[in-house]
Structure 1
Amino acid sequence: MPVPVLFVRGWPLLALAAMLSLVPEAHAQRVSARDRVKIEALEQRMAAAEKRYSAALVLVNNADPKGKNEGDAALEDMEDVISACVAQKGCQVSNLLPTYKRLLKSRADSQDSEGDAIAGDGGLLEADPDHVSPLTADVPEAARAAALLNDKRHAFDSMVEYNPAVQAGIRRWLTDMRPALMTTYENYQNLRAVMWPEWEKRGLPEALLFGIMAKESNGRVHASSRAGAAGLMQFMPATGRRFGLGPDGTGFDTRFDARSAAEASATYINERMRELNGNVELSLAGYNGGEGRAARVFRQSAGQSFWVDSVYNQFPGETKDYVPMVIAAAWIFLHPQQYGVEFPKLNAQPATIRLAKSTTIYELTICLGSAGTRDGYMRALRNLNPRYEADGWIPAGTTINATTRIAGLYNRYCVNGPRADLARTLITADLNAAIVRPAVASYTGNVAVGSVVPVAQAQASVVAATPVAPVAAPAPKPKPKAKPVRSHKVGKGQTLGAIADKFQCDVRELARANGLKAPAYALRQGQVLKLQGCGK
């Protein structure tokens, strides 16, 4: 968003301010108490306009279309203040210059962070319409950005109880679990454009979406549990099927799709909220500990709070931990400054890349580098393209989902050049090529001999002295019997990885033998697996 040049009575505003700043303070007019009150009001208006502009930059960096309008309105407020200052007796325009310096620096920093978002042809790449839908017009982003700056209270705050259990959860997120919290935030920002609209249009708080994701998966699309839950929001197979999630006929499990998981989870939470009279804690308890149990406890307790002992103690320990931890993560999401948390700033505006040559996500991770991120872009690429395995080759001409920053880095470093060549060398490196296998050398040592006898003569002497006996042909070695391929019946909650560990199998060979598709390797209870390639 270019910074407009403001004008007052035909003069560029900054030029006018610069000239007025040259007026010596000694020439300033004497200011009455009444005028001083008016001048202070103008200074407060300028400070408020600056804060409004800063909030608009947050929206612009988050690809929110409201950002430009908010920024323009803030600049208009500043123009009005300057005009009023020029007309106000005793008002020094030079006193307002620090605001402009901060404003211009903020804009320059924002442009620097967006520098890598330019495609090879000089234009921004557009997002795939199937990958991201625009945020609806009434997304309360301006209010959220302002609240993040001011630490004001939020509507979500009144929906939950802030008590010692939640405080203990906040303590955990801010200590040993802080890396997981930061990782979740980065992952969520890259997925926000496809997930938040599904929750927003269903009237659910964004903080709750973040809190559930933080506790369930840390924002890793391919997360799976031993119990069979999968995806960002950890849907069990049966629950997923109720909301249209599961194998789609191509070998892909849509529980791993961010948009589908967001839509299903929002619908599921709304079901629980309607059933449980809008009680967030009990809805979360149902999400984790079973909707049937939550509904039964709610009826028996006549709608009492989750924190009442007779209600609380009817849930398993995992659920007692789950509910406050989700709320704690959501609380920090809304009040980062209060807890000294500075979430990483990301350029996560959605874009697409049309691959110039075949590649893998591993190769892209190497050539993209880690500029602008702590851990590189592998997780972002995997989350945005869940159908592709990290080491699977993606054909040239394929369009993959990315961000504008990733797209800019791809054009700069991954199409051609030294880093692209290095990435291809590393990704195709073969460990076996490092093993040296020298040729068998002939024996060169000394052998002691007696008198030399011609070979033909020696053979004739041996034949004459030794009776010839028939030589029996060597018996053929019996062929080793092939080990019979055994089978295993899948038990409740078993995963392919656990079965492979138990029988010492290669996971990929076991999956191929049984027609299981990556990355889900979905199993069903009672399914019989051929233990191909297993050592036990």
Structure 2
Amino acid sequence: MSVSLSSLRTWPLLLATSLLIAAPSAHALSARDQAKVSALHERMTAAEKRYTDALVLMDNADPKGSSEGDAALEDMEDVIADCIAQKGCQVGGLLATYKRLLKQRADSAGESDGDEAIGPLEADPDHVAPLVADVPEAARAAALLNDHRHAFDDMVEYNPAVQAGIRRWLTDMRPALLTSYENYMNLRAVMWPEWEKSALPEALLFGIMAKESNGRVHASSRAGAAGLMQFMPATGRRFGLGPDGTGFDTRFDARSAAEASAAYMNERMRVLNKNIEYALAAYNGGEGRAARIYREAGGQSFWTDSAYSQFPGETKDYVPMVIAAAWIFLHPQQYGVEFPKVNAQPATLRLAKSTTIYELTICLGSAGTRDGYMRVLRNLNPRYEADGWIPAGTTINATTRIAGLYNRYCVSGPRADLARTLITADLNAAIKRPSAATFTGSVAVGDVQSMQAAQVAGPAAVPAPRPVAPARRAARTYKVAKGDTVGRIASRFQCEVPALARANGLRAPAYAIKPGQSLKLEGCGR
């Protein structure tokens, strides 16, 4: 995947220089290592000459100049990446050459372009590098040097349809955009690596997820699509998604959905000559239709009238909206968007006592987040219902912030007690039902005659009541309905989830049940 000269910026190189230029040199190199270092310098010299020749071609308006320049830059990036891994190779000198050539090109462009202007393709430093906080310094520098973040800009058309989509995301859909971003950042550590391995743009992953589900793992549609990336059952099965035998549908698992969607997009991109618009049309409106229209259009743009008019209205809306969300993801500052800062360092949390996601949401509070932590917990732990009891000792997925808040507020103390009180509160306990003996209400008018008759006749002998044998209470059962979960059933009948599960042989953590199944309601209050 090539990087156009117009989208390259020098700021990643300055950071990479600060990381690597002070690296210590090797005290003694073997002849083999010295030969490898010399070969790297020769490759850099050849790439530099190739780049200089490309600049001459571009100055002469030769169309070959741009592609030759891109190829030369990629050669230099490969050399620098190899130098990082090579013992005794001093990266600082290579970086200086790379930076000097880019500056030469930038100076030349500045002389010819006149007044400085900020165009729609200006790179934005809001998104640094893939998982930049989670990789060592050398790998971070290599990621910066191979910065393809904004290659997406050259893979799609920035046209009025996309601009209209950006307008919608920035107006009435702005809350959905910000929510999608916050949800994505909490899932990024498990989703982005799957797309990165497939060399697909991260912005595209965000755009699809924002449009499909707003980053809600449990999203589902009336048509049967489910999960973050809204896979239909049949398509999901093609890519390994679906029921896993425990009652859980892996379409709701973030990592699995990311892996499957990356495989799907790569498959469509191969068939459709790497055309993102057609690939998105296939994702939304059916791969058969998209392939047929692309073939009949002779590979012409998705926006060509003869092709565009054949897609349904939903797809015509879907494609530019996904691209628009991706575009804002890459260029937030240009549009005045300040995405929330999310502390989403992955962590695991071992529960000190049984709890529910609802209870955790209450005791964790909302420190450091706009809407609290329920969505984060649900997204990271899709197998658990929000109101389902999770046994003590269970390890759940979380973030370092959630883990710290849990130990501080949810294990013991006033907030933990309050959360337990709120989560176990029963609406029925608030309803007062006075007994007949204490009832002092008025008598209805229709009862006056019968009372007078009783007074005339005098007191009647009242037979002694016969003792009634207590009825033997039969063991109750409940037939599982569609949409039921163990947590909901336990809440309805005032049961403890572990006791209900033991009585019916249900295994944690899934507690898998199916419609029509009969459950014993042992240990339930209602």
Instruction: Give yes or no for the alignment of 1:411 onto 2:445.
Output: no
Instruction: Give yes or no for the alignment of 1:364 onto 2:343.
Output: no
Task: Describe how 1:340-489 pairs up with structure 2 within 5 A.
Answer: 340-441=336-437
Task: Describe how 1:219-298 pairs up with structure 2 within 5 A.
Answer: 219-298=215-294
SS at match of 1:252: coil
- Going from structure 1 to structure 2, the CA distance change for 1:135 and 1:298 (only over 3 Å counts) comes to farther
Alpha-carbon distance in structure 2 between the residues aligned to 1:389 and 1:179: 25
Q: Which moved more, 1:442-451 or 1:404-413?
A: 442-451
Supply the AA of the counterpart residue of 2:334. Q
Deviations 1:405-454 (A, max 9, x none): 00000000000000000000000001111111112127899989679899
Q: Is the 8 A contact 2:204 2:322 kept in 1?
A: yes
Supply the AA of the counterpart residue of 1:347. N
Task: Describe how 1:110-125 pairs up with structure 2 within 5 A.
Answer: none
Alpha-carbon distance in structure 1 between the residues aligned to 2:12 and 2:281: 43
1:143 Cα deviation (Å)? 4.1
- Going from structure 1 to structure 2, the CA distance change for 1:404 and 1:530 (only over 3 Å counts) comes to closer
Task: Describe how 1:11-160 pairs up with structure 2 within 5 A.
Answer: 52=15, 143=144, 154-160=150-156
- Going from structure 1 to structure 2, the CA distance change for 1:307 and 1:351 (only over 3 Å counts) comes to same
Q: What's 1:321 paired with? A: 317
Alpha-carbon distance in structure 2 between the residues aligned to 1:145 and 1:184: 27
- Going from structure 1 to structure 2, the CA distance change for 1:427 and 1:279 (only over 3 Å counts) comes to same
1:184 Cα deviation (Å)? 0.4
1:135 Cα deviation (Å)? 6.5
1:297 Cα deviation (Å)? 1.0
SS at match of 1:283: helix
Larger relative contact order (C-alpha < 8 A, sep ≥ 6)? 1
Q: What's 1:125 paired with? A: none
Alpha-carbon distance in structure 2 between the residues aligned to 1:236 and 1:204: 22
Q: Which moved more, 1:439-448 or 1:199-208?
A: 439-448
SS at match of 2:403: helix
Alpha-carbon distance in structure 2 between the residues aligned to 1:171 and 1:219: 20
Alpha-carbon distance in structure 1 between the residues aligned to 2:242 and 2:513: 9
Unpaired segments ≥5 residues, structure 2: 1-10, 20-83, 85-91, 93-133, 444-450, 464-480, 493-500, 519-526
- Going from structure 1 to structure 2, the CA distance change for 1:281 and 1:402 (only over 3 Å counts) comes to same
Q: What's 1:333 paired with? A: 329
Q: Is the 8 A contact 1:353 1:399 kept in 2?
A: yes
Alpha-carbon distance in structure 2 between the residues aligned to 1:443 and 1:215: 59
- Going from structure 1 to structure 2, the CA distance change for 1:380 and 1:451 (only over 3 Å counts) comes to closer
Unpaired segments ≥5 residues, structure 1: 1-47, 57-68, 70-75, 77-133, 148-152, 460-487, 489-495, 501-505, 524-528
Q: What's 1:161 paired with? A: 157
Supply the AA of the counterpart residue of 1:208. L
- Going from structure 1 to structure 2, the CA distance change for 1:276 and 1:402 (only over 3 Å counts) comes to same
- Going from structure 1 to structure 2, the CA distance change for 1:262 and 1:453 (only over 3 Å counts) comes to closer
SS at match of 2:398: strand
Q: What's 1:176 paired with? A: 172
Percent of aligned positions with the same letter in both sequences? 76
Q: Which moved more, 1:292-301 or 1:225-234?
A: 292-301
Root-mean-square deviation (CA, aligned residues, Å) is 4.4
Q: What's 1:307 paired with? A: 303
Q: Is the 8 A contact 1:367 1:419 kept in 2?
A: yes
TM-score normalised to the size of structure 2?
Answer: 0.60
- Going from structure 1 to structure 2, the CA distance change for 1:328 and 1:207 (only over 3 Å counts) comes to same
Structure having the higher Rg:
1
TM-score normalised to the size of structure 1?
Answer: 0.59
Deviations 1:87-116 (A, max 9, x none): xxxxxxxxxxxxxxxxxxxxxxxxxxxxxx
